[in-house]
Structure 1
Amino acid sequence: MTTRRERLRKLVEVQEQLKALHETRRASLLAEAAAADEEAKMLAERFDADDSLAVLFPDIYHNRIAGALARRDARLAAARLEAGLLATATARTNMVERAYQTERRADERQRGDRERLDLIEQKLGKPQSDP
């Protein structure tokens, strides 16, 4: 049967993995938002270029720019949501970590008390030799 300390240690590991997952997702979403923003800027620059086909196909350029900006906004919104989930995961990780540390200290204290009691019992249980 597992002890409370072992269960808390495993829970700390799971919480840290969950926190890392949210960090990774948020970073990925921010990178995708930056890429979409860069695409929108590139398309806008191409639209304004002298040798651009924007004169012939302005709707295509406008639609692609609008799509890139919409993707950027959607990724930024998702990254904000992920940041909230990350904050929650961090708080949970900290809470479980504190509980684990408390339980670990209590176990160490009990182990030390048992060792001292065993030493005392050994000293009292031994017959004393008379000189």
Structure 2
Amino acid sequence: MTTDRRQRLARLVKLQERLKELHEARRAAHLKEAAAAEAEAAELAGRLDAPDSLAALFPALYHDRIARALARREKSLARAAEEATMVAAAGARADVAERAHTSAVRSHERAAEEKAVLEMLEHQRER
């Protein structure tokens, strides 16, 4: 039974680590999206001030696109912050599962050592 528990805990540790990695990857993707949106807004703002730009003809269009890019940036940063909390939670769950697994392994090893000592004493007693 302890072997089953150890195996289940080992699988749980792996699962929690994968979940943590997933949240880390999603956070990185959101940060990348935020950086891209910020770069787009900066590029559009740069074009707005350029003398040969069409911004003089369509200033509302440029301002609208800049506002949408900045809104996307803020939304992506908020999602990245949410993923950061999920990374922390998954890390904590992984640590708890790892401690439980380590405890189960130690308990199994202790039981195996006690059994070996008892068998050795019983074998010496029979002589």
| Range class of TM-score, shorter chain | over 0.9
Q: Distance in 2 between matches of 1:10 and 1:46?
A: 54
Per the alignment, residue 16 of structure 2 pairs with: 15
- Aligned pairs for 1:80-95 (under 5 A) are 80-95=81-96
Shift of 1:123: 1.8
Matched, 1:44 2:45: yes
Shift of 1:11: 0.5
Runs of 5+ consecutive residues of structure 1 not aligned to the other structure: 127-131
- Three-state SS of the structure 2 residue aligned to 1:50 is coil
Shift of 1:47: 0.7
Shift of 1:85: 1.0
Runs of 5+ consecutive residues of structure 2 not aligned to the other structure: none
CA shift digits 1:85-112 (9 cap, x unpaired): 1111111111111111111111111111
Larger radius of gyration: 1
Matched, 1:35 2:36: yes
How many residues in Structure 1 have an aligned counterpart in Structure 2? Answer: 126
Per the alignment, residue 114 of structure 1 pairs with: 115
- Runs of 4+ aligned residues of structure 1 deviating over 4 Å after TM superposition are none
Root mean square deviation of aligned Cα: 1.1
Percent identity among equivalent residues?
52
CA shift digits 1:50-90 (9 cap, x unpaired): 11110011111111111110100000001111111111111
Per the alignment, residue 5 of structure 2 pairs with: 4
Which range moves more in the overlay, 116-125 or 35-44? 116-125
State TM-score, norm by structure 2: 0.94
Shift of 1:45: 0.4
- Three-state SS of the structure 1 residue aligned to 2:52 is coil
Q: Distance in 2 between matches of 1:65 and 1:83?
A: 27
Counterpart residue identity of residue 97, structure 1:
E
Q: Which has the higher helix share?
A: 2
Matched, 1:75 2:79: no
Q: Distance in 1 between matches of 2:125 and 2:20?
A: 53
Per the alignment, residue 129 of structure 1 pairs with: none
Q: Distance in 1 between matches of 2:88 and 2:115?
A: 41
State TM-score, norm by structure 1: 0.92
